[in-house]
Structure 1
Amino acid sequence: MKAISYSRYGGPGTLEYGDVREPKIGPDSVLVKVRAAAVNPVDWKAREGYLDPMLDAVFPVIPGWDVSGVVVRLGVSVVEFAVGDEVIGYVREDFLSRGTFAEYVAAPVRTLARKPRNLTWEEAAGLPLAGLTAYQVLTGALQVKRGETVLVHAAAGGVGSIAVQLARHLGARVIGTASEANHDFVRSLGGEPVAYGGGLAERVRGLAPEGVDAVFDTVGGDTLRVSADLLAPEGRLVSIADGDVVGYGGRYYWVRPDAEDLTRLSELAEQGVVSVHVSETFPLERAADAHRLNEEGRTRGKIVVTVAQDEADGADGTGRADAASADPSKSTG
């Protein structure tokens, strides 16, 4: 199959487009024919080697954790899905190797949910990682309640834009930091935009003189200090970008694959509560350009890589794994 891969850590130039071996599927996994895969900051951070202290890399590594696609083969114990099901997934394993920037991906069922019927393939691919991050932080780590005021940093970005919508759905008032060019976009999501840069604290206090109840940080660095100063008594601070948040009395959060949470997000998308803004798409062979654009850190919503379907006709699509691969007695492992 065709895929994007890298055989060493480094810049976007390490990404190569070419043939790789089609992934095997375990008993609790399905083979997904990829239609689209979203780009996330973690993808280029992994490629640069920043995740090496946490995750082993089995080279060559296919990047990407977000996917939308169609189930074409089932592991022997899978009952949750059928061949032909349209799915989305945050397909993260505890090592780097078998990602979603490919014609096919082997996806554990614990990472998948059914695709929202009202979203395009590109929009659906942008929902899992960003949506799960926003949902788990707001409902779990921050425990946002109706009537509270929430400050969301980078409110026009992939995670931030979904966080604004979800926080509004939870009944919160949302203040969102964004560049001037994205203020109307943040308003369209239900947030009250404030500009980045010097004087941020004063601008936020102008909207919330008594402080904010919760801060959702996606930026890190000096933003953490400003955020901590803006908290009301008993306010909560969570960052997904900087572990130094602990020093400010906050919590660092890393998103987890969760089929139940992802199913809930899919339902909210179908209800019109959550939308995904796709700013730009790239064909699979131009994934390096997608990485470069994402690294600039100024994207509104999501950047998505698409897989041409005439390239992805190699799987047999016959259903369950063949007997030789499914029978443990025939395994050489």
Structure 2
Amino acid sequence: MSTSMRVMELVRFGDADTAFATRELPRPTPGPGQLLVRVEATSVNPLDLQTRRGDYRDQVALPAVIGNDVSGVVAETGPGASDFQPGDEVWYLAPIFDGQGTYAEFHVVDQALVARKPARLTHVEAAGLALVGVTVWEALVERAGVKVGERVLVHGGAGGVGSAAVQLAGALGAEVVTTARAKDHEFVTGLGADHAIDFSAGDYVPRVRALGGVDVVLDTVGGDTLSRSPEVLADRGRVVSVVDIPEPQNLLAAWGVNATYHFLFASPGRAKLAALGRLVDQGKLRPVIGTVLPLADVAQAHTLLEGGSTGEGRRRPRGKIAIAVNSLDEPSRATTSLP
């Protein structure tokens, strides 16, 4: 086996078309309790865009390999790593801002963060679900504590995080309201949304209030969502935001409904992946993959996620943009996987 590996390295902060370069780096060696994983697929997330732009330059020293989703195959085990064997198919969320990222052919990870890949998912699909799946699990289960019969508003139900959140909220027994453009309403109701509201056709607040308000708001879009959430919340409602919001917002109205706010930066862990895997096995959760690109096209993937067009005139897809690294999945196919 070669002692080197191909990576897409972030060499400068800024625009996607000048930020990355293909490099050959030494293949890492797993230490005690660690696994060397052959990365079959990864994906691109908003966190990657923010990192590339330089929003986290204090945490990221250039040059750097970024990325956090992995679905792959164990290639080698380190001393004391007995939970997995070479050849096992695994998936995981790599620690954020801690070590080499996942835009690479191989990645080293502590075995405690790794779970067995659900058999129903391809590597591309699993890579598209890892970070967003853990994010919505923490948001809806661990932070908001969604209960059966509650009403949940998911902002941005057609996006990568939103599409997973709509499904998970439904699996938890909630009535699901989501905002999405009219052209995406059939799509989000297909994911399990009970009500779809076109946010581009006027203020969403009166339409949510007409439904009786909500118990939980999940913010995946930013803007003035935090300050406006009290207008749709029931008493003791909960708001969870997964978006960096640089501008201050007036939350005085939150006192009037005894609202609780949570701000979430997802953390890796095997238990969360195992819980998500059980939902996948039960047919209650599937990743939504809008586009699959090869590792060499990471810059193009960033441009797509930002909403730009490519030379083929494509626009930002629904769901996730996956990156086929070593995967046998066909890199050029675009898939939309629904329950």
- TM (norm. structure 2) is 0.85
> 1:24, CA displacement in angstroms?
2.7
Indicate how the Cα distance of structure 1 residues 146 and 245 shifts in structure 2: closer, same or farther if over 3 A, else same.
farther
User: In structure 1, how many angstroms separate the alpha carbons of the residues matched to 2:249 and 2:103?
Assistant: 32
Partner of 1:290: 301
Alignment of 1:58-77 (within 5 A): 58-77=61-80
Q: Greater relative contact order (Cα 8 A, min sep 6): structure 1 or 2?
A: 1
User: In structure 1, how many angstroms separate the alpha carbons of the residues matched to 2:149 and 2:244?
Assistant: 28
Note if contact 1:221-1:242 (Cα within 8 Å) is conserved in structure 2.
no
| Structure 2 residue matching 1:61: 3-state secondary structure | coil
Partner of 2:150: 148
User: In structure 2, how many angstroms separate the alpha carbons of the residues matched to 1:94 and 1:78?
Assistant: 23
| Structure 1 residue matching 2:26: 3-state secondary structure | coil
Which deviates more from structure 2 when the two are superposed, residues 193-202 or residues 127-136? 193-202
Partner of 2:229: 227
260, 264, 280: which one aligns with 1:253: 264
Note if contact 1:71-1:87 (Cα within 8 Å) is conserved in structure 2.
yes
Indicate how the Cα distance of structure 1 residues 93 and 23 shifts in structure 2: closer, same or farther if over 3 A, else same.
farther
Indicate how the Cα distance of structure 1 residues 157 and 309 shifts in structure 2: closer, same or farther if over 3 A, else same.
closer
User: In structure 2, how many angstroms separate the alpha carbons of the residues matched to 1:301 and 1:309?
Assistant: 20
User: In structure 1, how many angstroms separate the alpha carbons of the residues matched to 2:36 and 2:61?
Assistant: 20
135, 138, 163: which one aligns with 2:137: 135
257, 277, 280: which one aligns with 2:288: 277
The structure 1 segments of at least 4 consecutive aligned residues displaced by more than 3 Å after TM superposition are 242-249
User: In structure 2, how many angstroms separate the alpha carbons of the residues matched to 1:59 and 1:28?
Assistant: 28
Q: Which runs of 5+ in 2 are unaligned?
A: 255-259, 309-315, 329-339
Which deviates more from structure 2 when the two are superposed, residues 262-271 or residues 296-305? 296-305
- TM (norm. structure 1) is 0.87
Partner of 1:305: 323
> 1:75, CA displacement in angstroms?
1.2
Asked whether 1:43 is paired with 2:48, we answer yes
The amino acid that maps onto 2:146 is V
The amino acid that maps onto 2:113 is T
> 1:93, CA displacement in angstroms?
4.2
| Structure 1 residue matching 2:75: 3-state secondary structure | strand
User: In structure 1, how many angstroms separate the alpha carbons of the residues matched to 2:120 and 2:107?
Assistant: 23
Partner of 1:202: 206
User: In structure 1, how many angstroms separate the alpha carbons of the residues matched to 2:173 and 2:203?
Assistant: 28
What is the RMSD of the two structures over their aligned residues, measured on CA atoms? 1.8
| Structure 1 residue matching 2:221: 3-state secondary structure | coil
Note if contact 1:128-1:262 (Cα within 8 Å) is conserved in structure 2.
yes
User: In structure 1, how many angstroms separate the alpha carbons of the residues matched to 2:62 and 2:11?
Assistant: 5
The amino acid that maps onto 1:256 is S
Asked whether 1:240 is paired with 2:242, we answer yes
% of aligned pairs identical?
A: 40
The amino acid that maps onto 2:319 is G
